[in-house]
Structure 1
Amino acid sequence: MPLVDIAPWAGGDPAGRESVATAVDAALRTSGFLLVTGHGVPDDDRAAVRDLARRFFALPDDVKARYAVTVGGRGWLPPGVEANAAAEGVTSPPDLKETYAVGADTPTGDPDLDGFWFPPNVWPDEVPDLRAAVVRHVGAMRALADDLLRIGAVALGRDEDFFTRHTGNPSYTLNINHYPPLTEVGRPTHGQFRIGAHTDFGTFTVLDREPGAGRLQVDVPGHGWVDAPYRPDAFTINVGDLLSLWTGGRWRSTRHRVLPPQAAAPDEDLVSLVFFYELDPDTWVEPAGHAAPPVRAAEYLAGKLAQITVPSAAPQNVQHRSRRPGRPQAALPPLRRRPV
């Protein structure tokens, strides 16, 4: 997993921009992961989100339950509602985590899309400062993800806006994941992880994580499961399925997982900020070289969210996109046939 300083990209020097594009392309063709510095996101902003999120996660469960949602919702995902390994078609225990999720909330005017992909975010009254900190962080993450897409387009010999012309009003999610300590969750069941083995679903994932014994691992071709390196000033970047498909497999959407809490560190308590960047939902992704049929982003992503949901563990009276009681669950937007 190479380390790439992307600061020269913003500097405007053609040679510097080319060197960044070449380095990013090389990383994405091998492991599908890289560490990025020179991103310009202040450490204090990331720390503020993490500290405020810890205040929320420390609240009693009956208080957090006021904001309970299931996978794809906006608010608190309690332990037991998500199993990422199920996206690979395997039966898996639930992931050992809880999450506060926010996402894109700028409506398009299309009620079918807006009800599912762009509902209002929900903010906990008990931690009033969380909203401003998260909004600031999400803005920085979206800007960084768009920069990475521009870098990638240049690396592929495309127009710089080849990808970003499809991120005018994209779906995206920031998952603030809390991995409780072993002393709280108890001994994991067989095959249970903080996050089970999976690939991500969208374009780029931008991860700000804490180091620990229950660490991130990447399934690197030819090497198997490898501990991901960590630098406190770097973001961990990886490719999602849609972007890999778009490049005809040139860039790898690589399997990864987060180990369960370890007996050697029973009090380890970690918080990760995971930004999943996607596309305008109506985007048709055309694989390079026509290696596979085109897919519509909305259908692909919604199908994956359904796979990783643990229906039997959904909290009572939980809505898909809202904590307001009595509101119907948003339906999957209808399939829109690709224009011919």
Structure 2
Amino acid sequence: MSAIATIDISRWYAGGTEADAVAAEVDEGLQRAGFILVTGHGVDPDLAARVRAASREFFALPTEVKARYSVPVGGHGWLGPGAEANAYAEGTESPPDLKESYSLGAETATGDAEVDQVWFAPNVWPTEVPSLQALVTEYTAAMRQLSDDLLALFAHALGLPTNPFVTLADRPTWTMNINHYPPLTVVGAPEPGQFRIGPHTDFGTVTVLDREPGAGGLQVHSASAGWEDAPWQPGALTVNIGDLLEHWTAHRWPSGRHRVLPPQPQAPEEDLVSLIYFYEANHDALVTPLQPPIGKVTDLHPVTTAAFIKERLDAITVK
């Protein structure tokens, strides 16, 4: 039996005793692995399919064309192969991850040039794929709504009288990475210790992932099961909590540790695209850890979102 619980969030939307029951299941599931598989979310799977198709158009462009949109880690644009090594966030030196990404983010500028340059920089849209902007804009709006709903559910799961993220995430930072994992026939045999994405945890509050299953796919780590292939269902979304939410719950819920396996010899032509929405909170939000009996530890201090996330982004950048 998988350590990752499947949660039908339509039961939360229904309210009443069903909402209480699903909240208890969420608490139990997140304590196990920091991951849940979410169904009943109401996001049209055809929208994700159209985003994925447009993204494949971009990734199929010649490298010199994609390079026009090249940005460093944390920027909005193309992150080419070799830009990231996510295992560095755990202190593990590893070869660069076997992927390329197109990254986008929130544009709700504050008027403070230094803040906006880092957290609310304008998105860059490839003119070669004109459909991408409207599709991603629609998709990220749906992800923002779902992420807010999940945080409300999580607050209920912890027995809190109100949801603090109503104010802590009313002008949030977020990032969407469209990750392309090329096939073995393109990238060649992986180096020792090399992954499509090395073992790591995410940095923010909630990550919502729409992925394609594969031999070189997502694995999740839990204390009870070790590394296991993440469950997948058509139309379901994989949700995990990040370091900031782990900090807020004072380690009641572990930040979901995961990795994406390298391309496998038995599937040399496997070519995958994942849509990952990383939700955070307001850049200046002060996140105060919950005290026992909800929280599990008492030695944590309040953190500001921007400083907390930036430290982790810097750690994964290949120098």
**C-alpha deviations, 1:129-181, integer Å up to 9, x for none?**
00000000000001000000000111112134222321111111000000000
Amino acid at match of 2:7: V
Output aligned runs, 1:154-169, within 5 Å.
Answer: 154-169=156-171
Runs ≥4 residues deviating over 4 A = none
Q: CA deviation at 1:85?
A: 0.3
Residue matched to 1:4: 7
Q: Which of 159, 175, 178 is equivalent to 2:177?
A: 175
CA RMSD of aligned residues (A): 1.0
Residue matched to 2:138: 136
Q: Which of 74, 77, 82 is equivalent to 2:76?
A: 74
Residue matched to 1:295: 303
Q: CA deviation at 1:257?
A: 0.2
Inter-partner Cα distance in structure 1 for 2:31 and 2:305: 22
Residue matched to 2:153: 151
Gaps of 5+ in 1: 312-340
Inter-partner Cα distance in structure 2 for 1:38 and 1:222: 27
Q: Which moved more, 1:141-150 or 1:21-30?
A: 21-30
Inter-partner Cα distance in structure 2 for 1:103 and 1:291: 33
Inter-partner Cα distance in structure 2 for 1:108 and 1:23: 38
Aligned length: 310
The answer as to whether partners of 1:212 and 1:268 remain within 8 angstroms in 2 is yes
Residue matched to 2:239: 237
**C-alpha deviations, 1:197-251, integer Å up to 9, x for none?**
0011100100000000001111110321111111111000001001011011111
3-state SS in 2 of match to 1:279: strand
Residue matched to 1:213: 215
**Aligned-residue identity in percent:** 56
Inter-partner Cα distance in structure 2 for 1:191 and 1:26: 32
Output aligned runs, 1:1-340, within 5 Å.
Answer: 1-11=4-14, 13-289=15-291, 290-311=298-319
Gaps of 5+ in 2: 292-297
Amino acid at match of 2:221: D
Inter-partner Cα distance in structure 2 for 1:183 and 1:107: 42
3-state SS in 2 of match to 1:271: strand
Inter-partner Cα distance in structure 2 for 1:153 and 1:222: 25
Inter-partner Cα distance in structure 2 for 1:200 and 1:39: 22
Amino acid at match of 1:7: S
Inter-partner Cα distance in structure 1 for 2:115 and 2:160: 29
Amino acid at match of 1:292: L
Amino acid at match of 1:298: A
Amino acid at match of 2:180: H
The answer as to whether partners of 1:151 and 1:160 remain within 8 angstroms in 2 is no
Q: CA deviation at 1:8?
A: 2.2
